[in-house]
Chains A and B, each alone.
Chain A
Amino acid sequence: MILVDLQIASRNLLNHTKRNLLLGGAIAAVTALLVIMGALTEGIRSAMLESATTLMTGHVNVGGFFKITSGTSAPLVTDHEKVLADVRRLAPEIDYVTVRGRGWAKGVSERSSMDLVLAGVDIAREPGFRRVVRMKEGSLEDLAKPDTVLLFEDQAKRLEVRVGDAITISAPTARGVSNTADVRVVAIARNLGILSAFNVFLPSETLRSLYQLNASTTGALHLYLEDAAEAGHVAARLRGGLAKAGWRVMDPDPRPYWEKLMGKVNSEDWVGQKLDVTTWEDELTFISWILSALLGITGLLMFILLVIVVIGILNTLAIAIRERTREIGTLRAIGMQRTKVLWLFLLEAASLGLAGTACGALLGVALAAAVNAAHLAVPESMQFFLMQQQLTMTVLGRTVVARSLFILAVTTGAALVPAFHAARLKPITAMHHIG
């Protein structure tokens, strides 16, 4: 029976090829746009997360603050090996751990200077680093040598240095004593948007020497999980478990560590060590607005397009009903039920919607693949926010299906009003209709 109904719906659609092609094309265009926007958002989100969770944060971080006096704090974890042992015991789902030094300093070259956020790394133990950071000049391996530094290309441009040049890193130690380290630029990496604006990487030993720290002190433990989605649960478990193990643990506060350091920690009246367990989402709250803005723009654009499509469907079906009023009257006169009329018009709209969304989804996926293949360069002004130099689109099958189904539901739903109108027509009135 459904096959007969489908045949009737298809024939009706084919009888008005031009009009339905136009409407189907509009539905396809909206679907394709939704797929493209989704792929773009996902591309940016995944690029941002991959970069950020390699450069700045783990899926879960066990950082902390050490206060020598109540007014002097530093982002430090003392006895980090003991902390790590407890962390491993409490979170068996950890894939791997990196130990990072944290700090900030003034970088001064022969010609220029800038503020820098320092990350002390042991490059041999940073498996994700090579995947994310692409070299423009120099060698990442040289970062294993003491008194070296990796800069990003905009930083190198601003400091007017090249590989082999020296810069002075000037910072107060945890006790507020001025210190400097002369480091050699061994690698200049391609920009990674906002993340590479201030972050530079230097060997952990150099950072320790700058801040006069002993070998058991570091900045944070970056924990990488097998499933990043588990970060929230693992962080909560670690907070409770570390506190039970005798560590002083700070209350959850979804802000990056440097915001806490600048604001909250210094004004609190305590001394000694406190651990702070955060997730990658906490550490990246300062850039989450970029994704929110992108999602907001996408949503607004889709809303406008869907309104246009709904108006188009209402209009097309209204014309179709007007043209076929006598036909509806005849069908009703020979015994067709109202529900059947309603069903036929809905099926017609759904068939049109299905064809449109299917074509649109395929078009969107093809366009996304073409964009990826073309390696389109992102304009420099946009790179800072999009955190990629080449436009990358990530198409997720489930997202494409979900969005296509959404468009299909909207187009079918939009047909309800004219379909009800058609079903309500009285056979005698409809048959006398002159249209």
Chain B
Amino acid sequence: MTTTLRPLTAALIAALALPAAALSQKETDDIVARVDERQHNNGDWAALCYMESKEKDKTDVVYELVYYRRTEGQRLLILFTKPKSEAGKGYLRLEKNLWHYDPGTGKWERRTERERIGGTDTRRGDLDESRLAEEYVAKWEADEKLGAFDVHRLLLDVKPGIDVAFPRVRLWIDAATGNVLKRQDLALSGRLMRTGYYPKWKKVFSESKGTDVWFPEEMRFYDEVEKANSSLILIRQVDLHPLSPNMFTKAWLEAKSR
């Protein structure tokens, strides 16, 4: 009896010791597509955002802003409301051009889509709809534990001809929910630039989509090059009702800035 059990025990131990089976490319792509799909809203979006930026040897900066999105035309509008010195400034994305407006000078300036919002470590993409499947090719790296969560660890490389701030991204995706829990942004050189954590996810029902839209209620970004720098983003008061048709225009932002 003992002799017959020994090989079985050994086989069981060996099976447990083996790494988790690799996900196929299709399974990996599906996971990434699911991340996008859960956050996709087939319509308009409005939300309030608090952004806190800490930089070494500088005073902490806290911004309050509202931002609006429209799925059609991939439009995005960001309007700073606080502090007073920043109120009225804003960004408008029109046909792949990101414009910055400063009411102090009354001028519109074209900015790169990889712009640091308000000079912080926050990027336009952090506030925009998730388009991972459109921009990156994913590769499964491992299934592992991130704290108490079972996660898929994926490595995403930017597709040729697409411009993104970070050409390589590593994601830790909750296996149970499909929410991103951790993200590493890497430079072309392979250097780790930024680590992001998404500890709180929330959902809101979208009538246009007919189902829930998920969004990270809290995002924390840690600069990995300048270690002392970090940003905290809180998303509040998400509203998915249709916005005014003429909202994503320069005139609208200028009027709001007065």
Which A residues form the contact surface with B (CB < 8 A)? 69-72, 106, 108, 112-113, 168, 170, 172-173, 175-182, 212, 266-267
Contact = CB atoms under 8 A, between A and B. Distances in A.
A168 B185 CA distance: 16
B145 interface: no
Contact of B187 (A113, A170, A176): A170
Contact of B191 (A71, A172, A176, A180): A180
Given A69-B96, A106-B225, A170-B225, A180 B110 contact: no
Contacts of A177: 114, 158, 163-167, 187-188
Contact of B112 (A71, A106, A108, A179): A71
A149 to B, nearest CB: 15
28 contacts: A69-B97, A71-B97, A71-B99, A71-B111, A71-B112, A106-B226, A108-B225, A168-B225, A170-B187, A170-B225, A172-B112, A172-B114, A175-B163, A176-B114, A176-B163, A176-B165, A177-B158, A177-B163, A177-B167, A177-B187, A177-B188, A178-B166, A178-B167, A178-B187, A179-B187, A180-B189, A266-B111, A267-B107
Interface in B83-121: 96-99, 107-114
A70 B110 contact: yes
Nearest to B98: A71
B193 interface: yes
B188 A173 contact: yes
B165 A267 contact: no
Contacts of A175: 163
B105 to A, nearest CB: 10
A413 to B, nearest CB: 51
What does DSSP make chain B's interface, helix, strand, loop or mixed? loop
Contacts of A113: 56, 225-226
B76 to A, nearest CB: 14
B109 A170 contact: no
A70 B113 CA distance: 12
Contacts of B99: 71
Given A106-B226, A170-B193, A177-B163, A72 B187 contact: no
7 smallest A-B Cβ distances: which pairs? A71-B110, A176-B114, A179-B188, A176-B112, A180-B191, A178-B187, A180-B189
B97 A70 contact: yes
A176 B225 contact: no
A108 B187 CA distance: 15
Interface in B207-253: 225-226
Interface string B118-151: 0000000000000000000000000000000000
Given A108-B225, A113-B56, A170-B225, A178 B188 contact: yes
A266 B112 CA distance: 9
Contacts of B165: 172, 176-178
Interface in B183-203: 185, 187-189, 191, 193
A113 B121 CA distance: 15
A335 B241 CA distance: 111
Given A176-B163, A177-B165, A72 B188 contact: no
B191 A168 contact: yes
Nearest to B165: A178
Contacts of A266: 109-111
B116 to A, nearest CB: 10
B73 to A, nearest CB: 17
Contacts of A172: 112, 114, 165
